[in-house]
Amino acid sequence: MNDLENFQAILDRYFGAGSARFDTRTGVTNNIIGALNRADFAPFRAAFLKRCQGLSRRYPAGDPNRTPLLDRLNEMASESKWDGVYAEMVAFHFLNSDQDWLSAPIELSKTVPAADTLAGALGGQNTNYDGFYADFDVCFDVKVLGDKSLDILKGIIAEAKTALGLTNVEITPEYPLDMDFVPFQQNRRALLAELQGALNPNTKPAMLRSAVLQQLSYRLLWGAGVLTAVSTYDPFLHAANHHRLLFKHAKKFSRTQPTFIVFVVFPWFSETPTTNPWSNEIFFRSFCRRFFCQYAKDTNPATTLLSNYQGNETLAQVTQSLTGVLFLEDKSITASNPLDHNINAYAYLNPNATHKISGHFREHLSALGFYRDDFQHDNY
């Protein structure tokens, strides 16, 4: 049974025959459906099946939300969309698991006029949210907290090796993990040309230093062996460099109701983990505090950081349009008990938000086990 056939059997088992609508003969695989078909990922498979079971019960046959749910789950059988779909699955299952404060399941796929959000000033027609709490009038959108720098570098390395026909070399980049991803984005073409020009199968260099980005180098292994690399990391510097990522999601910020961005953190698509168990929590809080508080009195126009913005808002008003950020750390790869949620949850509330959450929504977050911080005495 190939990976697609195994995934088809899972969907049909939990959501009914015919729920899987992809072609199982294509040979497509990815980290998720590949692991589900391997015995050495038994804890992850058990946790995944528990989530399927929970979502099937929360959105039974006939529920209008079942259709968008299945549409998304089918996209998990793709080479390119699996990470975002998996993140949504994790969020939907976990956020729906509070039986104390939710009278109805979270609505999936909520579309509102662009004029109700900042999307109207960014050229959008409508804004679609991944989830909507009818109980609390709260919208949210799910995002992958990915390693953008590494994704860019992996693409460069793969493209360079393909262009040169190299199959016998492994290349691992070395760079500060807290470095801003923008220089990698802006210099991708130059970095590709540089790497292609330096890869010499005759001299077989073991290390290459970039002249385009001085903090970047590559370790190379020609043939068999073990390849290691070393990087540095500071969670506060990481937050300083990366918090502007939230501005890229401004089209989801609302003018009319509380709105959250939900980041799912997962080892197969997220930032490289560190050995310090507190680093992620330090980064999450600093990342949010910079966005919520650093611009609270900033009267510069939104175009300062959003070049195509057509509204009159200041940077302060843009940041005040986001109510909060949720982080969900998914621990299911090494789940010791699949009956648990295997989620570390963190909620950071914007103390300067125009639309704040109700006390009942705070209780909902508490019932789910979120660590919660509203920066009440740290807003300056």
Say whether pLDDT at 350 is over 80: yes
In whole angstroms, what is the distance from residue 124 CA to residue 312 CA? Answer: 16
Report how far apart, in Å, the C-alpha atoms of 52 and of each of 12, 57, 196 are: 11, 9, 44
Mean pLDDT value across residues 256-282: 82
Least confident of 55-59, 120-124, 271-275: 271-275
Say whether pLDDT at 338 is over 80: no
Coil/strand/helix, residue 37: coil
In whole angstroms, what is the distance from residue 351 CA to residue 347 CA? Answer: 12
Express each pLDDT in 104-148 by its tens digit: 999 999 999 999 999 999 998 899 999 999 999 999 999 998 778
pLDDT at residue 261, as a whole number: 98
In whole angstroms, what is the distance from residue 9 CA to residue 13 CA? Answer: 6
Say whether pLDDT at 364 is over 90: yes
Express each pLDDT in 320-329 by its tens digit: 999 999 999 9
Say whether pLDDT at 273 is over 60: no
pLDDT at residue 274, as a whole number: 53
Q: Where are the domains of the chain?
A: 3-65, 107-146+234-373, 148-222
Report how far apart, in Å, the C-alpha atoms of 178 and of each of 235, 238, 282 are: 7, 4, 13
Mean pLDDT value across residues 262-271: 88
For residues 323 and 349, the answer to whether their CB atoms sit within 8 Å is yes
Q: What is the pTM of this model?
A: 0.90
Mean pLDDT value across residues 45-54: 95
Place of tokens 């300083």: 240
Say whether pLDDT at 264 is over 60: yes
pLDDT at residue 226, as a whole number: 83
pLDDT at residue 271, as a whole number: 62
pLDDT at residue 31, as a whole number: 94
What is the residue-wise DSSP string for 136-185? TTEEEEEEE-B-HHHHHHHHHHHHHHHHHT--SEEEEEE--TTS-SHHHH
pLDDT at residue 336, as a whole number: 79
Taking the CB of residue 312, how many other CB atoms lie within 10 A of it? 9
Express each pLDDT in 149-208 by its tens digit: 888 999 999 999 999 999 999 999 999 888 888 899 999 999 999 999 999 999 999 999
pLDDT at residue 194, as a whole number: 94
In residues, how long is the chain? 380
pLDDT at residue 163, as a whole number: 93
Q: Which one has a higher pLDDT value, 172 or 226?
A: 172
% of the chain residues with pLDDT over 90? 82
Residues facing residue 325 across a β-bridge? 261, 348
Least confident of 244-253, 313-322, 334-343: 334-343
pLDDT at residue 150, as a whole number: 84
Place of tokens 């969670």: 235
Report how far apart, in Å, the C-alpha atoms of 106 and of each of 69, 148, 237, 261 are: 11, 30, 36, 15
Ordered strands of the 138-144 beta sheet: 107-113, 126-133, 138-144, 259-265, 324-330, 343-349, 371-373
pLDDT at residue 276, as a whole number: 62
pLDDT at residue 39, as a whole number: 94
Say whether pLDDT at 339 is over 80: no
Say whether pLDDT at 359 is over 80: yes
